[in-house]
A and B are shown apart, each in its own frame.
Chain A
């Protein structure tokens, strides 16, 4: 029995017995006869785990001593919906916190994850990706693909109505397609929809005929939210403006209210086609400051966060100390890398490999990112069916790096900076003008993780004699036509790409994705000045990957691509981001993942 009151005079001076049980140890601590460290040391020696002692001390009122428990707590990997103990209730409100406000709630024009997080609670697609990356039926109950891979047939669900009372029909699918492809409307993402030649509706059957075999078709089209024809009929401008501020869908929640920069309210939809939502209301609260978001999670003002705005990896330890919050963890489809502009020495495979050898990715992940990320060797996420598990990352090896640079004809010049002849016709042979190896390493300002990574990498590269200068710019400048990617000098840049649910990666590597001018579009930026030395090969592979619907055949293609990328190092792969959603311990059904958006199953969330 522990006495919570501190009594240093419990025993006469020198008469205190040596504490032998946990109770006695805790009592000695409370009475001030034992330091906290002393207590922990002895308790561990007695075979007790630190968290247990923390709980004991906490119970005894020594709040500060509970802190050591924190280190042993780890985020919980997401394997299914949260299942808190206790009875599921019907009704109640959950407040979700986010550091970014949606630009618009229009599914066809938003650019922000935050917006999709909210939209997914209100609107359905024909299918939706569940948290195991499988297409789950929503507005359609089934689909089939013709043998030639060109025609997709969907069976629509019957008895579905929109929030405004309109019945959902195949015409809504047709009109959604038309508005997405309407140039005056300016949809943000036309992927997949732009391959459709014609859509025919026959009762509850919708048939889409496409112009070419395009493997990622379903991943885009089936997962697109469908809008009601009556809203689309209001015209391009009204549909864009009004619908973007008050969307109408078929989901378990209806749009309630949007108070700018403050919050968006979603209310339960009584006419929902499936199981009605357990909750009455979800509030999406805008909390722009990460500190404040942590405070609100702690005070319970915010009960969940994730996806567009999870707990920042560097604050996970702090959040693990909150009593009422579980910190979850799941992999993502976002990969961080150093984008290497394909000019001068960087055109040589050996130089790129050398820079990879000289980039301490393992230490970056373990030390800078506190182990809260996964290693990356190529562009497919670990866990994806297209991921090649056999590729090993290059070790951090400055000797090999030096060797490769020497083989590329680079020798120390003024001030120890390497210099050599740059390649002209053959990218692998240095036969042109002599240049020093000076490279700029860019990051987007405000990204403190990347800032630290850039400094570590620069230090390592500098030690090789590659003169590296760290630079940064704000996001609208760095991606603009004056950005680093369009300057003539050698550059690297730290940033992340996000893959879709389909492994297609043509937009990163295919020569058709090289911007034609600095204001042009396309993801293959490093090859703006020169095609890669392996351009032909990767063009063939990425095109084949898109044109094959057989998953096993595609898998082999993407394995080949990953091997090629690892061999050629067009970019230096660093890590796969890991996401840390936070959720109050009394919320059930919460099941975030990288494959969908936060509110995708909000109808199944409940309070206990």
Chain B
């Protein structure tokens, strides 16, 4: 397993390099550029503009810009943000932990809810509970996430006044775990809705599939309590593919959720990426794209490793 891990990690290096070259190329292909807003300032002189381009390194040929960027990356330097005039590592470092907090909370909620709903629905397929959850699943998948956000905000922040409407901490006198949890509740739940809707269907069908297997009939035939059949046999088998789905989906979560973060003013990666895209802040875009790619590679690796642990029949070579 160690050899497998090392081999996969080494294999990730050319993959990530490829991702960086492609991202860089696509960014250059997009029309406009980071200097467009400077250029269209009526009060800017040509000499100033040339100087700003020079400071950004935009006066060099594109392949050279890429090589410089990769060279710096290998030294652990992600470059300077064009828009914020400070190192990209600082820019990302400021908001990444916030995204981790939000996504961890969202994942926890969606995991708990989708497992619960999925298993309960599978125990009595096409029953009332199953039909109700499937109705709400489709509803959850069909409605845009910001709509849920706005509705939750209206209900809990405006009408009931139980929770703050937005932000990560209270503006004045904020801080502390309690304050964080109060602010976290609405965005975490909003983010979880989409996953609950999708994942609970997934859990339901893979659990249902196991109920039809011979070994389940055997377990029941030998007189095991239903509880033990479900917990000891069905779930262990049903969850193997689910773990893979989650491990592959989870890193995507960490690249941020623009809409939810915007509605709830959450200071996270999604907003950073969107804001940087608007002003073509190439270094920050490259940094967030590379971080996302690395997380996805890591997520896939973890999925494979967990798979091996859960199912001894799979051997990793």
Say whether A associates with B: yes
User: Residue B252 at the A interface, CB < 8 A?
Assistant: no
* Residue in A closest to B170 when the chains form the complex, CB atoms: A301
User: Residue B36 at the A interface, CB < 8 A?
Assistant: yes
CB pair A292–B265 under 8 Å, yes or no, is yes
User: Residue A534 at the B interface, CB < 8 A?
Assistant: no
Partner of A476, one of B43, B169, B280: B280
CB pair B38–A476 under 8 Å, yes or no, is no
Q: How many Å lie between the Cα of A483 and that of B268 in the bound state?
A: 31
Proximity bits, A287-318, B CB within 8 Å = 1, else 0: 11101100110110110000000000000000
User: Residue B168 at the A interface, CB < 8 A?
Assistant: yes
CB pair A480–B166 under 8 Å, yes or no, is no
| Partner-binding segment picked from B49-57, B206-214, B223-231, B299-307 | B49-57
The contact sample of 18 A-B pairs, CB cut-off 8 A, is A189-B43, A190-B48, A241-B85, A263-B171, A289-B265, A301-B164, A476-B37, A479-B32, A479-B36, A479-B37, A481-B33, A482-B32, A515-B39, A519-B49, A520-B49, A521-B46, A521-B48, A521-B49
The number of residues on chain A lying at the interface, defined by a beta carbon within 8 Å of a beta carbon of chain B, is 65
Interfacial chain B residues near A292, Cβ < 8 Å = 153, 165-166, 262-265
* Residue in A closest to B258 when the chains form the complex, CB atoms: A288
Interfacial chain B residues near A245, Cβ < 8 Å = 86
Closest 9 CB pairs of A and B: A523-B42, A480-B32, A261-B267, A477-B32, A260-B94, A479-B40, A480-B36, A476-B32, A479-B36
Interfacial chain B residues near A281, Cβ < 8 Å = 172
Interfacial chain B residues near A296, Cβ < 8 Å = 165-166
Partner of A288, one of B31, B169, B265: B265
Q: How many Å lie between the Cα of A188 and that of B45 in the bound state?
A: 10
| Partner-binding segment picked from B119-127, B136-144, B271-279 | B271-279
Of residues 149 through 174 on chain B, the ones whose CB sits less than 8 Å from some CB of chain A are 150, 153-154, 157-158, 161, 164-169, 171-172
Q: How many Å lie between the Cα of A497 and that of B35 in the bound state?
A: 18
Partner of B42, one of A93, A95, A262, A497: A497
Nearest-Cβ distance from residue B223 to partner chain A, whole angstroms: 58
Name the interface size band of chain B. Answer: 35 or more
User: Residue A136 at the B interface, CB < 8 A?
Assistant: no
Q: How many Å lie between the Cα of A93 and that of B86 in the bound state?
A: 29
User: Residue A183 at the B interface, CB < 8 A?
Assistant: yes
Interfacial chain A residues near B169, Cβ < 8 Å = 262
CB pair B95–A260 under 8 Å, yes or no, is yes
User: Residue A474 at the B interface, CB < 8 A?
Assistant: yes
Interfacial chain B residues near A44, Cβ < 8 Å = none
User: Residue A278 at the B interface, CB < 8 A?
Assistant: no
CB pair B95–A111 under 8 Å, yes or no, is no
CB pair B84–A507 under 8 Å, yes or no, is no
Interfacial chain A residues near B32, Cβ < 8 Å = 473-474, 476-480, 482-483
- Please classify the interface of chain A as helix (H, G, I), strand (E, B), loop, or mixed, using the class held by over half of its residues: loop
Interfacial chain A residues near B161, Cβ < 8 Å = 299
Nearest-Cβ distance from residue A61 to partner chain B, whole angstroms: 16
User: Residue B83 at the A interface, CB < 8 A?
Assistant: yes
Q: How many Å lie between the Cα of A190 and that of B38 in the bound state?
A: 13
Partner of A111, one of B41, B47, B55: B41
User: Residue A138 at the B interface, CB < 8 A?
Assistant: no
The verdict on A186 contacting B52 (CB below 8 Å), with A111-B37, A262-B167 known, is: yes
User: Residue B111 at the A interface, CB < 8 A?
Assistant: no
Interfacial chain B residues near A520, Cβ < 8 Å = 39, 46, 49
Nearest-Cβ distance from residue A457 to partner chain B, whole angstroms: 22
Q: How many Å lie between the Cα of A313 and that of B109 in the bound state?
A: 39
CB pair A477–B172 under 8 Å, yes or no, is no
| Partner-binding segment picked from A101-109, A383-391, A418-426 | A101-109
Partner of B263, one of A186, A291, A480, A523: A291
